[in-house]
Amino acid sequence: MIQSPWFWLVLFGSAVAFWLLPQRFRFPFLSATSFLYLASLEPVGVPIFMVWTVLFFFVAPEALRERRYAKLALIGLVLSILGYLCWEKYLPVLLAAMSDATPGVAIAAPLGISYFTFKLIHYAVETARGNIKNRSLPTFFTYIFLFPIFTAGPIERFDHFTSNLEHKFSGQMTAEALTRIAYGLIKIMLIAKLVSPDHVGFGIPNSAEALVSSLNDVGALKVWAFLALTYLYAYLDFSAYTDIAIGASLLFGIRIMENFRFPILAVNISDFWKRWHMTLAGWCQNYVYLPVLARTRTPYLAVYATFIAMGIWHGAAFGWLFWGLYHASGVALYMTWVRYARRYEWWRAGVRSRWKYVGIPFTFAFVTGSYAFSSTGGGAFVSIQVFLALFGIRLGG
């Protein structure tokens, strides 16, 4: 959206109007503005989202009442929105793969459907648990449809949203918001382009298609270089959108959750997932990892379930499934290592000293390897070919 001048016109125009309005009219205005702007981009999907939003707002609180079918209705609603997500995002891809033809079910998933779905599920579960007390319809609609974060996150928590609102305009807040937006624009327009594979040269393939087509002729070091640059570009690009989303939301006095904390400096894979896409990792920890762990008492199974969910959330392709299995295996191995190593004083002393930073290049290399699965088109065989090419192993000739 940020490439469109309309985004910036709507953003700054609505921010001025927002603060000129009396406080009781601000969220109704912002929710209506967000809905209309998003509907102009997605005229079919966003009105359907509105129906889901109304259903969740009125049905979720019913789970708190002592009615026989109240919780069943809530479970049905959550399963229904997951079914809608699968219908729009995954079923067309599956049918196309099975029939080698473009299915007529849907052409493309509606804008922001994954973030929308996860926010609604979070709201429903936490409401049913009694953790959400604010029942303001304008606040809820603003939370769901806030246009700066709708398409690329972060996956904001409703309790964080309502407890981090600024109700008075201040120049300091505006300066902070504009500075964060500027950071994002510099990242995406300048720094990210410098590390993009199509700008670097030195014989490194300039795209995933070029890498795959010349895989038998490209050395392992250049495969590593391409995937490392892809990782850096993905981080800079994604975190830039997050910077802009956080800064744009702050123009309305809304402090959105952080999503990145310098993941390229992670000292181990566990640390990486405390720094990368933190809102997705937090969501999956709360609604996948902990429930599976509570049911099975098996942390390794919970880890694999969590990362498979993350992979499927990113895309309907075998490459993303392998990506999830790859990261789950890394975290599981690290958990096993820590389980045995922490009994030794040398290890406990190491994690408290500068020696822990030795893990940074190894973690960076491990994460780089995952881009063999996520950046090469999603095909199962192709992603495995690229991954093996990192170690000089060639398949297919």
Residue 233 pLDDT > 80, yes or no? yes
Examine the domain organization and report whether 114 and 11 are in the same domain.
yes
Closest CA to 218 of 372, 18, 345, 29: 372
**Looking at this protein, which amino acid is placed at residue 123?**
Y
Number of domains composing the chain: 2
Domain that holds residue 159: 5-163
pLDDT digits (tens, 9 = 90+) for 136-147: 899 999 999 999
Of 62-66, 177-181, 248-252, minimum mean pLDDT range? 62-66
Q: What are the beta bridge partners of residue 254?
A: 165
Which of 163, 182, 205 is where one domain is finished? Answer: 163
Examine the domain organization and report whether 206 and 151 are in the same domain.
no
Examine the domain organization and report whether 316 and 209 are in the same domain.
yes
- Average pLDDT value for residue range 298-309: 96
Question: pTM of the predicted model, to two decimals?
Answer: 0.91
pLDDT digits (tens, 9 = 90+) for 87-127: 888 776 666 656 554 444 444 567 888 999 999 999 999 98
Residue 313 lies in a domain: yes
pLDDT digits (tens, 9 = 90+) for 44-79: 889 999 999 999 998 888 776 666 676 777 888 889
Examine the domain organization and report whether 119 and 226 are in the same domain.
no
Residue 394 lies in a domain: no
The C-alpha torsion from 140 through 146 and 150 to 153, rounded to 10°, is: -90
What was the pLDDT predicted at 111? Answer: 81
Examine the domain organization and report whether 326 and 376 are in the same domain.
yes
Of 7-11, 23-27, 123-127, 132-136, minimum mean pLDDT range? 132-136
Residue 397 lies in a domain: no
User: With the C-alpha atoms ordered 46, 8, 276, 379, is the resulting torsion angle positive or negative?
Assistant: positive
Examine the domain organization and report whether 133 and 250 are in the same domain.
no
